[in-house]
A and B are shown apart, each in its own frame.
Chain A
Amino acid sequence: MDLRLTPEMEAFRDEVRDFLDQHKDRYAPGAGVERPREAAMEWQALLIDNGYAARTIPKAYGGYGAEPDILKSRIIAEAFTAAGAPRGFANQGISMLVPTLLEVGSEEQKTRWIAPTLRGEVVWCQGYSEPGAGSDLANLQTKGVEDGEDFLISGQKIWTSTAAQADMIFCLVRTELQAPKHDGISYILFPMTTPGIEVRPLKTMTGSAEFNEVFFTDVRVPQSAVVGGRGRGWFVANATLKHERGMLGDPNATEARFAALIDLMKSETVDGQRLIDNPVMADRLMQLQARLMTMKFNGLRTLTASLNGEAAGMAGMVVKLQGCELNHQIAALAIDALGELGVLYEDGPHLRAKGSWQRNYMFDLGLIIGGGTAQIQKNIISERGLGLPREPKLAVV
C-alpha cells in the first residue's frame, strides 16, 4: 500500500488541473440523449487535442494516440470530477462501437467511422435487446435474409437509446438461420435513414423517452457492413458489453452526486433546521458515505490489479451491482431529505435542481437492469467468482 503519486504523475495531475483551470469558460457538457451541440463538439475537439478524450485511440483514427496508462486515465477522471468539468462524450458509439472496431473492424471500417464518431459528427445507437431477448440476448430473432450482395433485415429492437437522433446503428442480426443460437448472429452497421426503419419513442416513468423501439421491415444492408465476420456477432458484442458494465460503475460520477447531496442537506432547511442536523438523515448520509468510500477504494484495488497485469477477480465483478445500487440510494436520500419538495417535478418555482434527483431515482432503476440485470450479475458472481454450479437447463420437450 502506497498511494503517493510519483513526481512524474504529480506533474501530470497538475498539468490536467491547469488545463481545466484555463478553459473554464469553454466547459460544455455533451452527455444525454440529445445530439451534441456545437459548443459541446468544440469542447470535445479540445479534449481530444490535449489527450483528455479518445486518449488511447490511434492518431490515424482521430484519437490522441497515447499509450494506455490506467493511472493517467484515473488522474484525468479525478481531476475532471474535482473541477466539475464535463468529460468527453461517453455515448454508445464511443464507449462500445469504437473499441469493437479497434478490436475486430476492417481497416476500411476503422478509417471511415472512428474519427467522426469521436468528434460527435456521427451519432450511433445500439440494436441489441429485443422484446424476447433481454437477459437471454442470444435468443434474438431479428433476421437478415441473404439477397444477392445484401441482407434484408426484418424484426424489432427495444431499449434503443438515441435511436431518434442517431445517424447509424450497430445491430445484432440473426444471419445464419440454421446455426446454433450463439453462432448465427452478425454484428452489422447501417444508416438509420435506410428505407424500412421505423423508430417509435419509448416513454418511461421519468416522463421522457430515453429509449425507443425500432422496427425493421426488409431493410436492405450490404453484407460488407458486417463487423468481425458473419456469424461472429455474439462474440464481437460480448467483447464490448464488458465496457458497458465498467461504465456503469464509475465511482467518480457517484462521488460528484454524493457531494451534491451533502450540499443539499447543508443548505435546505425544515422549520429552520438544516437537514444535516436531523440525526436520522445524517445517519443515512454517513451510511452512504461509507459505501462510497468502499467503492472508491475497491476501484483503487482493481486499478492496481490492472496496472500489475493481474485479474481483479471478485473485486471487479461486484462493481456494477454495488455502483448502480449506490447511485439509486443517493438519489433516494436526496428525495427523502427534500420531503414534499422531493416529489415536485418538471417545472415550478419550488422545484430543486430541475428535478434531477427525482429523474435520477427513476432512471437509475433502468441502469440496475441495463448492461446485465442485477440477477445476471449475481449469477456471474456466484458461478465465476464462488464456483457454484449453473442452474440445470430445462430438458427440451
Chain B
Amino acid sequence: MDFSLTEDQRMMQESLSRTLAEAASLDRIRRFAGDPGDRGADVWAALTDFGLPGIVIAEEYGGLGLTLLDAALMSEALGRAVTPVSFLGAVLAPLALRLAGSSEQQSRWLPRLASGEVTAAVAISEAVAGARDGAGVTASGGKLSGKALFVPGGLGAELLIVADTSGALHIVEGGAAGLTREIMTGIDLTRRMAELTFDQVAAEPLTGGQGGQGVLARLRDAGWVLLAADTLGACDLMIEKAVAYAKERKQFGRVIGSFQAVKHLCAEMAAELEPCRSLVWYAGYAFDAAPEEASLVAAHAKAHLSEVSRFIARTATEVHGGMGITDLLGLHFWFKRVGLNRQLLGGPERVRALAAQMQGLTA
C-alpha cells in the first residue's frame, strides 16, 4: 500500500515548474493575454522540448507512455503557472486515438502529436456539459454540420476530435473545407476558446477499439481529472501568494498575518485544499489502475475542486486587501483560470447529478 508520488513523479513536476518559471513568466502571460493573435508558440516550444505533448502517447509513437496521474501532475504545474496553453487537447486527443482510433489513424497522428509538430483540441462540450445556444454537431454521410462551442485550444489546432450529438467521435483536420473557427473571448485570457462552425466538413469516424459512448465517458473522466489538477495548482499558488502577502504587509504596526482574522482565512484555505491533493492523486491513479471507480472519483474531483477553488480565489483576493483586485498584482489570472475550469466540461451541479446517477442512486 503506497499512497504517495514516486521520486520520479515529484522530480518531473518540479522540473516542469522550473521550465515554466522561465518560459511562462507573469510578463509573458500578460503579453499573451493582451494579444489575441498570440498563439504562445515559444511556450509550446519549451513544453515540446520538455516532452509534454507526448506524455500519454505510447513510446512506440515517440511519446513518454505515462499515465493519467502523471498528466494530472503536469496539469497541476501548468495551472500553478497559469500557463497559456490548452493542455486538455494534448492529453484527450491521443487518448481518443488510443481508445478508438484505427492503427492507420494512430500512426498518422500520434507521432506528430508526440513531437509537438501538430496540436490537437477536443470539441466535446455539448456532449458532456450540454448544448447551449442551439449548438451541436450532426454527422451524415461522412460530413459534419453544426456548431461546437467552448473548444480550448481550438483556434490553432491541426487536429480536432469532435463529438456529434449521438456521442460518436470524429477526426477533423484543422484546414478542412467548410470549417470556420472564431475566437470566444472569455474571462480567462490565459487559454482561448474557439467556436467551431461545420458546414459539410469532411470527417473520419473514430470507430476502432471500444468506440461510442464508452470512449466519450473516458475522455470526459480524463478531462475532469486534468481540470481538477489545473485548479489544484492554481489554488496552491493563490494560497502561497496570500500567505506571503500576509507575512509582509503591515497595518496597525503589525504584519497582518499576526491577526487571527487574517491567519484564520489562510488556515481555512489550506485546510480546504490540502485534502484535495489526495483526491486528485487518487482520481488520476484510478483512471488507469481502478477503472471501475474512475468515473465517480473523477466527477468528485472536478466538482469538489471547483467549489474549493471558488472559496480560495475569493479568500486569497480578500487577504490581499485592495491590491487583490488590481491588474498590477495579477492574482486575477489565477482567479479567472479556476473560474473557467469550473464551467468547462460541466459545472459542479451537473457533474454531481451525474455522480449520483453513475452509482445508481438516481435514475
Least CB separation from A310: chain B residue:
B4
Is the Cβ of A388 less than 8 Å from the Cβ of B263? yes
Question: Are A389 and B275 neighbours in the complex by a CB distance under 8 Å?
Answer: no
Contact yes or no, B285 A314, CB < 8 A: no
Question: Do A287 and B307 form a contact, CB below 8 Å, given A1-B3, A262-B361, A304-B3?
Answer: yes
Picked from A282, A300, A377, A387, the residue with its CB within 8 Å of the CB of B247 is A387
**CB pair B69 A283 closer than 8 Å:** no
Q: Hey, which chain B residues are within 8 Å of A383, CB to CB?
A: 263
Contacts of A304 in B (CB 8 A): 1-4
**Please, could you name 13 A-B residue pairs with CB atoms under 8 Å apart, sorted by A?**
A1-B3, A2-B1, A266-B361, A279-B353, A286-B355, A290-B300, A294-B275, A294-B279, A301-B3, A318-B270, A378-B264, A379-B267, A391-B259
- How far does the alpha carbon of A383 sit from the alpha carbon of B284 in the complex, in Å? 31
Per the 8 Å Cβ criterion, residues 281-321 of A in contact with B are 282-283, 285-287, 289-291, 293-295, 297-298, 300-301, 303-305, 307-308, 314-315, 317-318, 321
Name the CB-closest residue of A to B268: A378
Known: A71-B1, A388-B247. A276 touches B361 (CB 8 A): yes
Asked if B260 is at the interface (CB within 8 A of a chain A CB), the reply is: yes
Cβ of A350 within 8 Å of any chain B Cβ, yes or no, is: no
Nearest-neighbor residue (CB-CB) of A313 within chain B: B274
Residue contact A379 to B263, C-beta cutoff 8 Å: yes
Closest residue of chain A to B282, judged by CB?
Answer: A297
Task: Decide: B271 and A318 in contact? CB cutoff 8 A.
Answer: yes
- Hey, which chain A residues are within 8 Å of B352, CB to CB? 282-283, 286-287, 290
| Chain A residue at minimal CB-CB distance from B239 | A386
Q: Which residues of B contact A3 (CB under 8 A)?
A: 1-3, 285, 289-290
List chain B residues, Cβ under 8 A from A322.
271, 275
Provide the bound-state CA to CA distance between A262 and B5, in Å. 33
Interface string of B34-45 (1 = CB under 8 A from A): 000000000000
B297 within 8 Å of A (CB atoms): yes
- Cα separation A307 to B4 with both chains bound (whole Å): 11
B303 CB–A CB distance under 8 Å: yes
Q: Is B192 interfacial (CB-CB < 8 Å)? A: no
Task: Tell me whether B270 and A386 are in contact (CB under 8 A).
Answer: yes
Give the complex CA separation of A282 and B355 in angstroms. 10
User: Are the CB atoms of B267 and A1 closer together than 8 Å?
Assistant: no
Q: A285 — which chain B residues lie within 8 A by C-beta?
A: 356, 361
- Besides A318-B271, A387-B243, 19 more A-B contacts (Cβ < 8 Å) are A3-B285, A5-B1, A277-B363, A279-B362, A286-B300, A286-B352, A287-B307, A297-B282, A298-B274, A305-B4, A307-B1, A322-B271, A385-B267, A388-B263, A389-B257, A390-B258, A391-B259, A391-B260, A392-B258
On chain B, the residues within 8 Å of A382 by CB distance are 257, 263-264, 266-267, 270
| Option from A5, A282, A318 in Cβ contact (under 8 Å) with B361 | A282
The residues of B with any CB-CB pair to A shorter than 8 Å are 1-6, 69, 243, 246-247, 254-255, 257-260, 263-264, 266-268, 270-271, 274-279, 281-282, 284-285, 289-290, 297, 300, 303-304, 307, 349, 352-353, 355-356, 361-363
A9: interface (CB < 8 Å): yes
Alpha-carbon distance A276/B4, docked complex (angstroms): 35
In angstroms, Cα B363 to Cα A300, docked, is 32
User: Any chain B CB within 8 A of the CB of A50?
Assistant: no
Other-chain residue from A266, A289, A307, A388 in contact with B243 (beta carbon distance below 8 A): A388
Bound CA span A378–B300, Å: 26
Contact partner, B258, options A276, A303, A385, A388, Cβ 8 Å: A388
| Bound CA–CA A301/B255 (angstroms) | 34
Contact count A vs B, C-beta below 8 Å: 165
A381 at the A/B interface (Cβ < 8 Å)? yes
Report the Cα distance A262→B361, complex, angstroms: 9
Residues of A with C-beta under 8 A to B259: 391
User: Contact at B260–A389, with CB atoms within 8 Å?
Assistant: no
B-side contacts of A317, CB under 8 Å? 271
Complex CA distance for A297 and B258, rounded to whole angstroms:
32
Is A194's beta carbon under 8 Å from chain B?
no
Instruction: Name the residue in A285, A286, A291 with the highest tally of chain B Cβ atoms < 10 Å from its Cβ.
Output: A286
Does A375 belong to the interface (CB within 8 Å)? yes
Bound-state Cα–Cα, A282 to B69, Å = 29
How many Å lie between the Cα of A317 and that of B279 in the bound state? 17
**Complex interface: chain A residues within 8 A of B349 (CB):** 283
The closest CB in chain A to the CB of B242 belongs to: A386
CB within 8 Å for A315 and B274 given contacts A277-B362, A386-B266, A387-B243: yes
Q: Are B275 and A1 interface neighbours, CB within 8 A?
A: no
**Do A291 and B304 touch (CB < 8 A)?**
yes
List A contacts of B246 (CB < 8 A).
388
In Å, the complex CA distance between A128 and B278 comes to 35
Contact A381 B279 (CB under 8 A): no
Are A9 and B356 in contact, CB atoms less than 8 angstroms apart?
no
B1 / chain A contacts, CB cutoff of 8 Å:
2-5, 9, 71, 300, 303-304, 307
A83 to B2, CA, bound (A): 24
Q: How far is the CB of B151 from chain A (nearest CB, A)?
A: 28
> Known: A1-B2, A293-B297, A304-B4. Is A315-B275 also a contact (CB below 8 A)?
yes
B271 lies within 8 A of A381 (CB):
yes
User: Which A residues are in CB contact (< 8 Å) with B362?
Assistant: 276-277, 279, 282
Complex interface residues of chain A between 1 and 21 (CB less than 8 A to chain B): 1-5, 9
Contacts of A1 in B (CB 8 A): 2-6, 69, 281-282, 284-285, 289
Chain B: CB-nearest residue to A277:
B362
Which chain A positions have C-beta within 8 A of B2?
Answer: 1-3, 304
Query: Given A1-B2, A287-B352 in contact, is the A388-B257 Cβ separation under 8 Å?
Result: yes
Contacts of A375 in B (CB 8 A): 260, 264
- Whether A293 pairs with B279 at a CB distance below 8 angstroms is yes
How distant is B246 from chain A, measured CB to nearest CB, in Å? 6
The residues of B that contact A266 with a CB separation of less than 8 Å are: 361
Closest CB in chain A relative to B12 CB, distance in Å: 14
A87 to B89, CA, bound (A): 49
Bits for A67-79, please: 1 = Cβ < 8 Å to B, else 0: 0000100000000
Q: Which residues of A contact B258 (CB under 8 A)?
A: 388-392
